[in-house]
Structures are given as C-alpha cells and as structure tokens.
Amino acid sequence: MRSEQGMSLAEVTIVMVLVAIITTAVATYSIPWLGREEMRGAVYTIQEYLQLARVQAVSRNRDCRFLIDSGSRQVFVVDLNDPSTGSDDIPLYSAILSSRVTFARPDTGSAVTLAAVSGSLYQATFASDGSVSAGAGLIAVQGGDGNYRINLYGAGGVRVERWNGSSWVAGS
C-alpha cells in the first residue's frame, strides 16, 4: 500500500494565521512610511522644479517661469520665449504631485504666496541672471508625516522648512 502524506487542517490553519499576522504587521508599518515618502517626493519635486526654472533661465539667457496649480497639484517650467506674449511660451517640464499631498499650512497665512495668476494657479518668474523677477514667496504642503514649506527668495535661492508643532525649522 501507498502511504499518503499531506498537511492536516490544524497545520494549514496555523500557517494561515501566521501569514495574516505578518501581512498585518507589514501593512501597519509600511502605510505611514509610504505617506512620508509621498510627502518628501512632493517637496523634492517642487524644490527641483524651482531650481530647474532658475537654471533654464540662466542657461537660455531669458526669463523662465515656474508655475504651480494647487487645485490639480501640477507643476510646470516654461521658457518665456517672448515675455510680452504667452502664445509662444515653450513648455520644458511638468509633473503631477501625489493626490495625498495638499496645499495647507498649520500657522496663519496662505499656503501659496507666489504671484497669483488665476484661481489656484501661481507663478514665479526667473530672470536670465537667476534672480526672481516676480513671484518670490512660499509654497506650503501638508501630508504624510506633517507640514513643509518651500521658500523662494528674490535672489533665486530655495529653502525647505518643516513644522515642528510650534514653529518652522530648517530641513526636510
């Protein structure tokens, strides 16, 4: 006679319980991590696109514009081929930020203080020397592990700050 081997119902149940426990533990620890990474990615993208607009203005020797739409969470860099008309602008870069990121700040004030274009669209214009000729201000984002703001200064520099619960501190 042949001897058949297999797993008993008790063994299968124990394996299934262990798999469920491991899955729950992984999900519990990875969901907050994913939120933090989405937030950091959004902050990095905004910072990167501000710097791209500045670099493009200097390298092309003409004005370039950074645009951000807080409603659709889109960011753009545009070469202002002829600043007097918008019909010949050259789109250079665009990205969409995570839907889990919102534009808000824990202290008083507007979430975006760049120059308002219309509705939820804001801009900063970089001159050919890398300075901000119009639209210096800040962009505050919320999500994942807290609140961050990206400050754009008139000289073209960018600084990232995070909210520590009572004030803005440098660093991401």
Cα dihedral across residues 97, 53, 65, 130: positive or negative: positive
Q: How many other CB atoms sit within 10 Å of the CB of residue 42?
A: 27
Query: Residue 60: pLDDT above 60?
Result: yes
Token duo for residue 70 = 């807080």
pLDDT digits (tens, 9 = 90+) for 16-35: 999 999 888 887 776 666 66
- Average predicted confidence (pLDDT) for the chain: 89
| Strand, coil or helix: 54 | helix
CA distance 94 to 137: 20
Q: pLDDT tens-digit profile of 38-49? A: 888 899 999 999
Cα-only R_g, the chain? 24
Question: Mind listing the pLDDT tens digit for each residue in 128-165?
Answer: 999 999 999 999 999 877 899 999 999 999 999 999 98
Rounded Cα–Cα distance for residues 160 and 148 (Å): 7
Question: Comparing C-alpha atoms, which of 66, 85, 63 is closest to residue 129?
Answer: 63
The pLDDT value given to residue 35: 67
With cut-offs at 50, 70 and 90, classify the pLDDT of residue 5: confident
Distance, CA of 156 to CA of 153 (rounded, Å): 5
Residues 73-128: tens digit of each pLDDT: 999 999 988 767 767 889 999 999 988 899 999 988 899 999 999 999 999 999 99
Distance CA 49, CA 55 (A): 10
Domain residue spans in the chain?
Answer: 9-170
Selected residue with higher pLDDT from 167 and 32: 167
The whole-number pLDDT of residue 160 equals 94
1 has pLDDT over 60 = no
d(CA 53, CA 24): 44
Domain 9-170 has CATH 3.55.40.10: yes
